[in-house]
Amino acid sequence: MDGQGKKHDIRKRIYVMGVAVIILVNITAWLSVDFCDWYIAYVYPIWLNTYARLTSLVPFSVGEIMLVLAVFLTVFGIAFLVWNVFACGKHKNALVKYWRIYAWIGLIVCDVMTCNCFIMYHASSFSEKYMSSNEVGSMVVDVKASAVTEVMTEKRTVYTKKNIIILRDYLVEKCNALALQIERDEKGNAVYRGDLMAESVRAMEHLGEKYEQLSGFYVTPKYLSASEFFSQQYIQGYYFPFSMEANINSMMHICNVAPTVCHELSHTKGFIYEDDANFIGFLACIESEDLFLQYCGYLSVLNYVNNDFYKSIDNNKNVYKRHVRISDLVAEDNIFLSKEDWEVVEKKAVVRTATVKKVSNTLMETTLRLNGVEEGMQQYDKVVNLLLDYYNGVLY
């Protein structure tokens, strides 16, 4: 075997070993929560304090660039393959080299995704780490149950209709009151005069004083340059594991910004579950000294709780009207995008929003389920369980 052949053989062995390590680490993660917790506590911070610090220095979203580059490299490779077929294999050697490079890039991406995302799906949740004093295991909400304040079953805490009602009315009251206290322009639109991104980071840093995993360095949140496209997917923010960035939709309503920043930053701290991220975003905002953040925090979970409340009363509009009314101001703030911004999105859309959203939801659902999240996208709604437990002993 000549020198070139030996080099190729060595590269092949290294590649196979790399694939084997990735498979082994993922299998270990699926089998051991302790391994995942250990990794997040002692290994993951290394990448956060080195690689993530570097990407934070870049003023634009590195993750977006990587996504575009990945699509380009894939399309180019397929086009090159088709072209070579029509050229009767004249460029076979160049094609083989290209796909070898592509395979190595794929290996690196799988490695980074494993280190910065996949392992976290099998770690302890926020509630298991920091709310164990109030719970005995997994929680469920039984919206059809009788109005018993709380029912304990084996390893489960079942919150009932009465709890949902109390929590919902409390949140509505908080939103209604704070909606009158925040600054608004002459048209009544919510405004924020300071640096909302920076204040949101400070809110997370403050929360880190109470919860150890949330302490330490935070990446710099960045607005997505392709916010119109992400708006079509109804995405408020995105955590890019391969760049370790917290990216925010620049087009969404201002009241969504702070909870979304905190939500995505919680992912960069190792909390990958969406209900955890929703709850952490809520906590960071309501525990801030900034009234605007407090309002946005309560507003961020209002829909989840209000929807469960409506189900608990069998969608009875008459019963619903007898409870605390959501004010017009709150209703106007409780939106994803304004009508004007939706018009901009639709005007620039290359593909219909309904199609983009459907594909996006399918991909997200598949990703979550492949990572062991059985409830898929319904995991976002499980923040209601965390809220019920958080207010257990406070409101009921």
Q: How do residues 67-111 score in pLDDT, each as one tens digit?
A: 999 999 999 999 998 988 887 777 788 999 999 999 999 999 999
pLDDT at 32 over 50: yes
Q: How do residues 153-174 score in pLDDT, each as one tens digit?
A: 444 567 888 999 999 999 999 9
Mean pLDDT of 111-137: 83
Q: How do residues 218-271 score in pLDDT, each as one tens digit?
A: 999 999 999 998 999 899 999 999 999 999 999 999 999 999 999 999 999 999
Amino acid at 53: R
pLDDT at 132 over 90: no
206 contacts 258 by C-beta, under 8 angstroms: no
Report which of residues 39 and 149 the model is more confident about.
39
CA–CA separation, 256 vs 248, rounded Å? Answer: 10
pLDDT at 311 over 80: yes
**The two three-digit tokens of residue 190, written as one number:** 């919510």
Instruction: Please state the pTM of the whole predicted model.
Output: 0.87
183 contacts 254 by C-beta, under 8 angstroms: no
pLDDT at 150 over 50: no
Mean pLDDT of 340-368: 75
- What is the structure's pLDDT at 137? 38
CA–CA separation, 347 vs 361, rounded Å? Answer: 22
Burial track 132-154 (b if 16+ CB lie within 10 A, e otherwise): eeebeeebebbbebeeeeeeeee
Structural domain boundaries in the chain? 3-122, 126-390
- What is the structure's pLDDT at 153? 42
Percent of the chain with pLDDT over 70: 86
Q: What is the DSSP string of 227-248?
A: HHHHHHTT-SEEEETTTTEEEE
Please provide the average confidence, as pLDDT, over all residues in the chain. 88
Could you tell me the pLDDT band of residue 374, with boundaries at 50, 70 and 90? low
273 contacts 233 by C-beta, under 8 angstroms: no
Report which of residues 352 and 381 the model is more confident about.
352
236 contacts 107 by C-beta, under 8 angstroms: no
Could you tell me the pLDDT band of residue 349, with boundaries at 50, 70 and 90? confident
315 backbone φψ class: left, alpha, beta (φ>0; ψ -120 to 50): left
pLDDT at 280 over 50: yes
Residue 150 DSSP SS3: strand
